[in-house]
């Protein structure tokens, strides 16, 4: 009886590894075959990585609008300004109440 062939264990690449491989491919520092061998994965994995990275970059570039502010950051800034104004008013109100309850005494 012969033993059945063992399945090759699947290797998962960390995001940083994927990015480094993609950058090497973009710069022409390596080929798909070399990257696959060095990383211990199949050539199709590297091809898929390249395609996904390229599409992700194109999608991000399509969404970006140079010179326009990020709406989310504008919203956070508006919220922070509103909170600062609320706190300023509350502090002024407390100062008035304190002055009325304790009276104003000279500083000696």
* Alpha-helical runs (H) found in the chain: 15-27, 32-39, 43-63, 71-102
Residue 69 is predicted with a pLDDT of: 63
* pLDDT (tens place) for every residue of the chain, 108 residues total: 566 666 667 788 999 999 999 999 999 999 999 999 999 999 999 999 999 999 999 988 888 877 766 666 678 888 899 999 999 999 999 988 888 887 766 665
Dihedral class, residue 69 (left if φ above 0, else alpha if ψ from -120 to 50, else beta): beta
* Domains of the chain by residue range: 13-63, 71-103
Scan for tokens 């990275």, then name that residue: 53
Residue 1 is predicted with a pLDDT of: 58
Residue 95 is predicted with a pLDDT of: 87
């Amino acid at each position: 009886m012969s033993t059945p062939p063992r399945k090759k264990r699947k290797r998962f690449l960390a995001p940083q590894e994927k990015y480094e491989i993609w950058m090497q491919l973009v710069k022409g520092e390596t080929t798909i075959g070399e990257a696959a061998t060095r990383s211990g994965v199949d050539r199709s994995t590297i091809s898929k990585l390249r395609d996904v990275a390229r599409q992700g970059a194109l999608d991000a570039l399509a969404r970006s609008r140079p010179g326009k502010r990020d709406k989310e950051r504008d919203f956070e800034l508006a919220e922070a300004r509103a909170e600062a104004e609320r706190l300023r008013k509350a502090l002024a109100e407390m100062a008035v109440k304190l002055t009325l309850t304790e009276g104003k005494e000279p500083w000696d």
